[in-house]
Amino acid sequence: MEQRFACTACGACCHGWLPLTLDDAVAYAGRFPLAMVWTPLRQGAKAFAHTARLGTTVRLRDRKTLAVTIAPTAYIPPSFPCPELAADGRCAIHADKPSRCRTMPFYPYREEADQADMLVPRKGWACDTSAAAPVVYRDRVVVERTDFDREHEQLQRQAPILRGYADYALKYMPWILDSLAKAAARPAAGGVVTSLSSFLTATRRPDAAALAAGQQPVLAAFAERTSGDPALADYHRNYVAWGKEMASIARQAASAEAC
């Protein structure tokens, strides 16, 4: 079986949350407002083992186990376009765009053999799946796989770091456990969101001050854009709170350097 696909630069997929690799989150800290998004999957689900390999597993209070991906994510309201989406529907950083954008429509958080439905355009998308489009998926194998393999390798490499973060977060933010249980029961509601600052604190990254400095103006800009809109109140509240946390991280780093 063959499936065809080509991007038409309609820009429809360039809205809302964008899961990033850790490498890309660091590289684009001065462009996107970042959060950590936890997406749980119940035991017995088809992608459970693959999700556990690239993410972590969490034991709930009822002793059931979840596989959880933890993705550094461009935390953008669904109605907002990517800040790098130009007026003509094209990417302003196309030559240097994140791995997630390069790999689209494929998704390495799934097994390679389970990608077929990712090639079906969502409602409102103008992707070309006609006979004129190139064959991109044949016999459940990605044909041109450079970007797919690169992103998958990044996900594998970052998994131990994110597992360490999960251990820290579940210890000091126990509310996450109940939130994951609720999210697993209602997958359509989305994942559990935690701050980038919690990740920086947990991992003690030497570049934490630089990342915080990059995030501050981005968070401030998105806080202003979402101010006064009741539908975006959660986003606005998080942008404001995370901006303060980033300012604190920058101050602490500066103080440590002074000593």
The residues spanned by each domain of the chain are 2-258
Arithmetic mean of pLDDT over the chain = 94
- The confidence score (pLDDT) of residue 253 equals 66
How far apart CA 38 and CA 160 sit, in angstroms, is: 15
Please say if the pLDDT value at position 259 is more than 60: no
Percentage of the chain beyond pLDDT 90 is 87
Q: Is residue 211 pLDDT above 70, yes or no?
A: yes
| Residue 214 pLDDT > 90 | yes
Q: What is the DSSP string of 128-161?
A: B-STTSPEEEETTEESS-HHHHHHHHHHHHHHHH
Q: Is the dihedral of CA 145, 146, 149, 152 positive or negative?
A: negative
Q: What pTM value is reported for the model?
A: 0.93
Could you tell me the pLDDT band of residue 26, with boundaries at 50, 70 and 90?
very high
Residue 254: per-residue pLDDT: 64
Structure confidence at residue 40 (pLDDT)? 96
| Mean pLDDT, rounded, for 203-207 | 93
Mean pLDDT for 232-255 is 91
Band (250; pLDDT cuts 50, 70, 90): confident
Confidence band (pLDDT; 50, 70, 90) for 252? Answer: confident
| pLDDT at residue 31 tops 70 | yes
- Say which residue the tokens 């251990």 belong to: 167
Give the per-residue pLDDT at 192.
97
CA 192 to chain centre: 12
pLDDT band at 70 (very low <50, low <70, confident <90, very high): very high
Dihedral angle of Cα 168, 158, 73, 31, to the nearest 10 degrees: 110
How many other C-beta atoms can be found within 10 angstroms of the C-beta atom of residue 212? 25
- The pLDDT, as a whole number, for residue 257 is 58
Half-sphere exposure of 160 (CA within 13 A, CB side): 2
Give the pLDDT of residue 168: 97
For the stretch 140-195, pLDDT in tens is 999 999 999 999 999 999 999 999 999 999 999 999 999 999 999 988 778 999 99
pLDDT of 90:
86
Q: Residue 129 in contact with residue 119, Cβ under 8 Å?
A: yes
